[in-house]
């Protein structure tokens, strides 16, 4: 039996940026695989290389430009796509040899450019190419993108100009994709978008039929239905919500977490707490109400984990504003926090604001917020010592000199790539990635937990 397609072309992929871009890369590669292309793990074996870029911050742009340069140097036949593709003239000025440049989520244009650069093999063998989706994540977790674009006009952000206004996917299509992923072995669904809470606003939360019942194109309906999905052995998947703006209807999701339908985890991009800074950012500024809601959420679901990100050194941020943020964090007691120094982004309104903060001050504030949030995290994780918690296994290591196996796992409070881990000792040889296990926590540090499987 033939195992290769005659004259089969191979495509390499460099995927940069956020999980939303990773989903775009998976969709592009899935289309190309269905057209008979094979994937190449290195530059040398590729007939053409795709670079899916990020253009959100200047530092991300430089990383993307460096990746394009490397691909050209190593392969020479390069197609550029993604957010930085909106700056096609600048890319071509720096790299005149690129074969094509397309913008974010322009799948048809990317596939067409690949067809032109490396025409696909023709003939009956193409019909034998498996139709399964290409995944760039481990088999046991998958990103589920529910919408594109954003309706916000935050002064530091250019996402609407890169990816357009909010465009929600049909809820029945999202649920079908999720069901297919779970059937294929996904144990954790990570719901992503630019604004998950706004899902369905653009279509007025239209109803669709799913399993014979009406469901609204709405975050709460989506979360409830995702929580009903089961693997072949009847195991429910974890459902993790990312990029959730704290609109009032988010309150309705918390009882679903308490019931076990949705993973008790919310990724909420607060960005700051000081009212004057939030106003300059053009973001909601009701920080006191947020604290009340956090308390209410924890009363309903005590194990809920809140992750957020904050910008320090935003134009006009005073020392008093920054201290306000630190004090707010003391009250909020968030479980996971990321911080970023403000960077001007070409086209963002914040670039023209007065009161630009010196780089040295940004660095000093960044160090202070990280010190604050690490102390909060260390205390929260230390309180878990002695408890038994549920984890999902990401990786099983090789035996040590004594033949013992260790493993890396995550609790429900830990999203892959961005949060902490649970490190396990003396795991059974039968343990594999994607397994769930109950673990007794023996130790903790500022970011991670350490434990052993019970029983």
pLDDT of the chain, 455 residues: tens digit per residue: 444 555 789 999 999 888 878 888 888 888 888 888 888 989 999 999 999 998 777 778 889 999 999 999 999 999 999 888 888 888 999 999 999 999 877 888 888 999 999 988 654 444 444 445 677 778 899 999 999 888 877 887 777 777 788 999 999 999 999 999 999 999 999 999 999 999 999 999 999 999 999 999 999 999 999 999 999 889 999 999 999 999 999 999 999 999 999 999 999 999 999 999 999 998 865 666 899 999 999 999 999 999 999 999 999 999 999 999 999 999 999 999 999 999 887 777 888 888 999 999 999 999 999 999 999 999 999 999 999 999 999 999 988 877 889 999 999 999 998 999 999 999 999 999 999 999 999 999 999 999 999 87
pLDDT for the residue numbered 128: 43
| Overall pTM > 0.85 | no
141-382 carries CATH number 3.30.2270.10: no
pLDDT for the residue numbered 161: 72
Sequence-separated (6 or more) residues with CB below 8 Å from residue 137: 22, 143, 416
Kindly report, as residue ranges, where domains of CATH 2.40.50.140 are found in the chain. Answer: 388-453
> Distance (Å, rounded) from C-alpha 57 to C-alpha 143?
23
Sole residue written with tokens 């992923």: 181
pLDDT for the residue numbered 434: 95
DSSP 335-392: SEEEEEE----TT-GGGG-S-PPPHHHHHHHHHHHHHHHHHHHHHHHHTTTT-EEEEE
Specify the fold of 10-128. Answer: Rossmann fold (3.40.50)
> Distance (Å, rounded) from C-alpha 168 to C-alpha 318?
38
Tokens of 20: 């939303």
Q: What is the CATH architecture assignment of 388-453?
A: Beta Barrel (2.40)
Three-state SS for 144? strand
Kindly report, as residue ranges, where domains of CATH 3.40.50.12160 are found in the chain. Answer: 10-128
pLDDT for the residue numbered 273: 94
Sequence-separated (6 or more) residues with CB below 8 Å from residue 335: 305, 306, 307, 377, 380, 413
> Distance (Å, rounded) from C-alpha 225 to C-alpha 215?
9
> Distance (Å, rounded) from C-alpha 241 to C-alpha 62?
30
Q: Which of 229, 98, 222 is nearest to 172 (CA)?
A: 222
Q: Which of 244, 176, 179, 185 is nearest to 208 (CA)?
A: 176
- For the chain, the distance separating the N- and C-terminal CA atoms, rounded to the nearest angstrom, is 47
């Amino acid at each position: 039996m033939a195992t290769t397609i005659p004259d089969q072309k191979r495509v390499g992929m460099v995927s940069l940026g956020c999980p939303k871009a990773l989903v775009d890369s998976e969709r592009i590669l899935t289309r190309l695989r269905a057209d008979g292309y094979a994937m190449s793990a290195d530059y040398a074996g590729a007939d053409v290389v795709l670079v899916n870029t990020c253009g959100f911050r200047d530092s991300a742009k430089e990383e993307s430009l460096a990746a394009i340069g490397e691909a050209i140097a190593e392969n020479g036949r390069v197609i550029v796509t993604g957010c930085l593709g909106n700056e096609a003239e600048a890319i071509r000025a720096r790299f005149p040899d690129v074969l094509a440049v397309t913008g974010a989520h322009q799948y048809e244009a990317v596939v067409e450019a690949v067809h032109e650069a490396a025409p696909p093999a023709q003939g009956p063998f193409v019909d034998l190419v498996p139709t399964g989706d290409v995944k760039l994540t481990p088999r046991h977790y998958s990103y589920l993108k529910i919408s594109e674009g954003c309706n916000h006009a935050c002064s530091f952000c250019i996402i609407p100009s890169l990816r357009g206004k909010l465009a929600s996917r049909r809820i029945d299509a999202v649920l079908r994709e999720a069901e297919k992923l779970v059937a294929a072995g996904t144990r954790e669904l990570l719901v992503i978008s630019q604004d998950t809470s706004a899902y369905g606003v653009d279509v007025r939360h239209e109803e669709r039929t799913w399993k014979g019942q009406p469901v609204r194109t709405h975050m709460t309906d989506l979360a409830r239905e995702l929580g009903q999905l089961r693997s072949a052995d009847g195991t429910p998947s974890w459902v993790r919500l990312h990029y959730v703006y704290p609109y009032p209807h988010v309150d309705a999701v918390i009882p679903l977490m308490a019931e076990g339908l949705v993973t008790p985890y919310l990724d909420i991009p607060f960005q700051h707490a000081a009212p004057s800074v939030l106003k300059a950012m053009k973001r909601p500024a009701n920080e006191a109400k947020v604290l009340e809601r956090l308390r209410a959420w924890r009363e309903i679901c005590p194990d809920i984990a809140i992750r957020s990100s904050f910008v320090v050194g935003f134009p006009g941020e005073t020392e008093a504003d920054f201290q306000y943020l630190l004090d707010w964090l003391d009250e909020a007691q968030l479980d996971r926090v990321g911080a970023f120094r403000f960077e001007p982004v070409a086209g963002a309104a914040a670039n023209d604001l007065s009161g630009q903060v010196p780089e040295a001050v940004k660095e000093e504030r960044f160090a202070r917020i990280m010190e604050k949030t690490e102390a909060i995290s260390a205390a929260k994780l230390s309180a878990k010592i002695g408890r038994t918690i549920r984890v999902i296994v990401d990786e099983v290591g090789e035996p040590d000199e004594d033949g013992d196996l260790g493993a890396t796992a995550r609790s429900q409070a830990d999203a892959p790539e961005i949060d902490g881990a649970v490190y396990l000792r003396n795991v059974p040889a039968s343990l594999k990635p994607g397994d769930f296990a109950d673990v007794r926590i023996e130790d903790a540090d500022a970011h991670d937990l350490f434990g052993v499987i019970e029983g």
